[in-house]
Amino acid sequence: MEPSLPFLQVLQSCITPIALISGVGLLLISLTNRLGRTIDAIRKIVREIDESQGIVRERKIAQMKIIYKRSKLLRNGISSMAFSILNSSLIIFVLLISLLCEKDLHNVAVMLLFFSITGIIGSAIFLFSDVILTLNAISYEVKDHLD
């Protein structure tokens, strides 16, 4: 027995959100790795702050504040990516409900796609901000060596 045509159409429609989830998942891995590195860096700097004094200590504290701010940006980026994955998953669910109940829910699916893309854009903005702060944090390390 052959699958019905509407089911095949829904199955084909679900491929795009699944591909979107896969791509966003790779970006999510990158963000979580960056977050892990900021956490490791903060732990290292805290130990260095405890062992230093004077101007070195002040620079380490300034560097730690920037890295902590990076951690918050990365957390927001990860949340945006998770929001995108949630909406992409809901698209699949809505398409399936649309088939089973024979209702036209395409407007809901389009709205969810819009939210999903918005999450990706938001995450990209947070990632870009993180990259800028990364360079600011490293400037404290290289200041004395560049002059």
pLDDT digits (tens, 9 = 90+) for 34-59: 999 999 999 999 999 999 899 889 98
Residue 5 in domain: no
pLDDT digits (tens, 9 = 90+) for 76-117: 999 999 999 999 999 989 988 888 888 888 899 899 999 999
Residue 7 in domain: no
Average pLDDT for the chain: 87
Residue 2 in domain: no
Residue 130 in domain: yes
Question: Residue 117, Cβ neighbours under 10 Å: how many?
Answer: 14
Residue 122 in domain: yes
What residues make up the domain containing 120? 17-146
Q: Give how many domains the chain has, as a whole number.
A: 1
Residue 29 in domain: yes
Predicted confidence (pLDDT) at residue 1 exceeds the cutoff of 60: no
pTM for the model stands at: 0.82
Predicted confidence (pLDDT) at residue 3 exceeds the cutoff of 60: no
Residue 24 in domain: yes
CA 145 to chain centre: 34
Question: Residue 41 and residue 2: Cα distance in Å, rounded?
Answer: 57
CA 63 to chain centre: 23
Query: In the numeric block, which tokens belong to residue 96?
Result: 């399936």
Residue 4 in domain: no
pLDDT digits (tens, 9 = 90+) for 58-78: 988 988 999 999 999 999 999
Please tell me the predicted confidence (pLDDT) of residue 140: 73
Angstrom CA distances, 139 to 19, 24, 34, 105, stand at: 39, 31, 18, 52
